[in-house]
Amino acid sequence: MAVPREQFLSPVWRDGIFENKVLFCTGGAGTICSMQVRAFVALGGNACIIGRNPEKTERGAADIALVRPGAKVIGLVADVRDVKALEDAANRCVKELGSLDFAIAGAAGNFLAPMAQLSSNAFKTVMDIDAVGSYNTAKAVLPHLVKSAQKHKNTGAAQPTGTGGRIIFVSASFHFTGKPLQAHVAAAKAAVDQISHAVGIEYGPYGITSNIITPGPIANTEGMARLSKADPESQKKFAKKIPVGRYGQVKEIADATVYLFAETGSYVNANTLVVDGGQWRVTGAADSESWAYPDFLLSGAVVDGVAKGGKKSKL
């Protein structure tokens, strides 16, 4: 059954703005990235989503395709840590769908752990997936994005063929202020941000735009399940600390994606769009009641009460 449109896209966008365009998305079956892809496909595009789990990826592609009659969405298996596999996936995307005009580097891994309980291997795993994986994604898609940008010129004027040649990196805000239990992800996402900036600076002259979307606490996502306790009282207390007073919705990340990919984002480059209700402005080391700073760290206790990652996320 197709996800209702109002769950992943605001009604302000005009249908068909991504007609005959193709999106390549790593982590495309995830709870946030799948909605970004849905929005793109609903507005006329086709897509190729990349994941490590064949069943999840193929099922995700088939589900996304339901948002628009005639949509083409393919699911390809590749590990973002393998640049050759990503290059092969990008080439196959072009062969099967005709082009590669947009990209989202969204594959990521996360879990809560203090440095005292975080092994070097666990730290490296997150760096490899988030940071190296984002770099590998960029390397794989940039030749295709350059071709798209040449075809769909970024002049600031309305183009009859629409836009193309754009990439979005999905990041986080932990490294803005510092946060306990997230040394691995803060380091990885800081690197992701700099990779995106480098792409924007070095490939801007080719017509490419590269930007970052930084989601805040988004309801009903894998990330929130792993990073916050699920009981209603904890959720309520956490939401009160967000300036707008609520969790975000996946639709709000998808809308930000459309904004950056459409003509609305033509002059936005090497920038960070934080979609978090202002949360990062009021958080830091002491923002968690569940794992109170510094008492929790000094206690030597193990993080509990959150969803656990798979085998690849174990310490």
> Tell me, what's the pLDDT at 34?
97
Catalytic residue of the set 21, 179, 189, 251: 189
pLDDT tens per residue across span 119-155: 999 999 999 999 999 999 999 999 999 999 999 999 9
Q: Which residue has the higher pLDDT, 249 or 240?
A: 249
SS3 string, 8-25, reads CCCCCCCCCCCCCCEEEE
Mean pLDDT confidence for 203-216 = 98
- Confidence band (pLDDT; 50, 70, 90) for 296? confident
pLDDT at 157 over 80: yes
CA 80 to chain CA centroid, nearest Å = 13
Mean pLDDT confidence for 212-231 = 82
Separation CA 28–CA 48 (nearest Å): 8
pLDDT at 62 over 80: yes
pLDDT at 312 over 60: no
Mean pLDDT confidence for 301-308 = 82
Is there a contact between 195 and 58 (Cβ–Cβ < 8 Å)? no
Mean pLDDT confidence for 65-86 = 98
Catalytic residue of the set 99, 134, 148, 171: 171
Helices within the chain (DSSP H only): 33-42, 54-65, 83-97, 120-126, 133-151, 174-177, 183-203, 222-227, 232-240, 250-261, 295-299
Is there a contact between 219 and 276 (Cβ–Cβ < 8 Å)? no
- Confidence band (pLDDT; 50, 70, 90) for 287? low
Active-site residue 299, yes or no? no
pLDDT at 227 over 70: no
- Confidence band (pLDDT; 50, 70, 90) for 309? low
> Tell me, what's the pLDDT at 313?
38
Mean pLDDT confidence for 254-281 = 97
Active-site residue 148, yes or no? no
Q: What are the chain's domains?
A: 20-307 (3.40.50.720)
Mean pLDDT confidence for 106-116 = 93
Closest C-alpha to 136, from 54, 72, 260, 50: 50
pLDDT at 314 over 50: no
Can you give the pTM of this predicted structure?
0.91
Q: Which two tokens stand for residue 168?
A: 């979005």
- Confidence band (pLDDT; 50, 70, 90) for 221? confident
Mean pLDDT confidence for 268-272 = 98
Q: Which two tokens stand for residue 121?
A: 């291997």
State the chain's mean pLDDT as an integer: 92
> Tell me, what's the pLDDT at 80?
98
The helix/strand/coil state of 157 is coil
Closest C-alpha to 277, from 253, 312, 313, 260: 253
Mean pLDDT confidence for 210-214 = 98
